[in-house]
């Protein structure tokens, strides 16, 4: 299932059922899992691992050298989880730093022209709309959604089930389950539609809403808000919000 115009290095590891289309290029240190499809003009190089059942559309590039000035050609990795879809012109760069990794989880959907920079870590089921861009060292948790043309500053964290509106500028950490939008971004409540679709109970959504109001109470700083939440927490989503707010942060929490 390798087109005659494709160039595949003899040392690449290609699993059974992989389909490599016209004019694709696959480098020496690449492994591709079973049933993954490279449609056409896809370039995969570097120390890159592609999972099973992925779909990679034309002109995507995976594993290219980091655009970081600190990168000096050291061995660094790119990993794509099972079932992930990368649409046209998506770019995913390898990490900076010996044996460091840029990683995308399972069943993610990255639409056309999205960019994942060096050392980013994406969880499972992440959706990025067209032209969304992640700078280096960004962390995106499971089921987060990033709207089209949104730009995320390096070292920023985005919590699970968070929703980033289109064309937003994200320079602070976005807590899980919340909706933010704007340039600069501001909080606009809960990701209510996403939470209902995901099957969160009324009780869980009510606690998330309560914690949103506590966090954005102008009379409280983040530490005070966390202490107030601890006395109220009764659900797993509530505890996840507290854990996110207590975790180390280089950018601070969006307030």
At 110, the pLDDT band (50, 70, 90 cuts) reads: very high
User: Final residue of a domain: which of 190, 216, 232?
Assistant: 190
Is 49 in contact with 80 (CB distance < 8 Å)? yes
- 56-78 residue pLDDT tens: 999 999 999 999 999 999 999 99
**Do both 144 and 203 map to the same domain?**
no
**pLDDT above 90 as % of the chain:** 99
User: Final residue of a domain: which of 160, 190, 220?
Assistant: 190
Residue 55's pLDDT is 98
Q: Is the whole-model pTM more than 0.85?
A: yes
Tally of domains in the chain: 2
- 141-164 residue pLDDT tens: 999 999 999 999 999 999 999 999
Rounded to a whole number of angstroms, the distance between the first and last alpha carbons of the chain is 52
Q: Could you tell me the CATH number of the domain that includes residue 62? A: 2.160.10.10
Residue 225's pLDDT is 98
User: Final residue of a domain: which of 190, 209, 232?
Assistant: 190
Is 49 in contact with 31 (CB distance < 8 Å)? yes
7-8 and 25-26 strand pairing:
parallel
Whether 206 has a pLDDT exceeding 90, the answer reads: yes
Give the whole-angstrom CA distance, residue 173 versus residue 249: 8
**Do both 135 and 236 map to the same domain?**
no
The string of DSSP letters for 158-211 reads: E-TT-EE-TT-EE-SBB-TTEEEEETTEEEEEE-HHHHHHTT--HHHHHHHHHH
**Do both 186 and 210 map to the same domain?**
no
Range of the domain at 236: 196-246
**Do both 46 and 27 map to the same domain?**
yes
**Do both 178 and 229 map to the same domain?**
no
Residue 255's pLDDT is 87
Give the whole-angstrom CA distance, residue 134 versus residue 131: 10
């Amino acid at each position: 299932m390798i087109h005659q115009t494709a160039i595949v290095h003899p040392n690449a590891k290609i699993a059974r059922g992989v389909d490599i289309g016209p004019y694709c290029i696959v480098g020496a240190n690449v492994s591709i899992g079973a049933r993954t499809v490279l449609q056409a003009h896809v370039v995969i190089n570097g120390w890159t691992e592609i999972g099973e059942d992925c779909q990679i559309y034309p002109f995507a590039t995976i594993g290219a050298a980091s655009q970081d000035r600190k990168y000096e050609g050291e061995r660094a990795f790119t990993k794509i989880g099972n079932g992930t879809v990368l649409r046209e012109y998506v770019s995913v760069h390898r990490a900076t730093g010996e044996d460091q990794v840029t990683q995308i989880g399972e069943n993610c959907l990255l639409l056309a022209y999205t960019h994942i920079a060096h050392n980013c870590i994406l969880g499972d089921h992440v959706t990025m709309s067209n032209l969304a861009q992640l700078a280096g060292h960004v962390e995106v948790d499971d089921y987060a959604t990033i709207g089209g043309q949104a730009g995320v500053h390096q070292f920023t964290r985005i919590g699970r089930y968070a929703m980033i509106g289109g064309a937003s500028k994200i320079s602070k950490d976005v807590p899980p389950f919340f909706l933010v939008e704007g340039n600069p971004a501001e909080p606009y409540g809960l990701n209510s539609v996403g939470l209902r679709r995901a099957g969160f109970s009324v009780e869980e959504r009510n606690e998330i809403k309560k914690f949103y109001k506590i966090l954005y109470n102008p009379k409280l700083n983040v530490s005070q808000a966390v202490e107030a939440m601890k006395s109220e927490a009764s659900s797993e989503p509530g505890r996840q919000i507290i854990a996110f707010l207590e975790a180390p942060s280089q950018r601070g929490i969006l307030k």
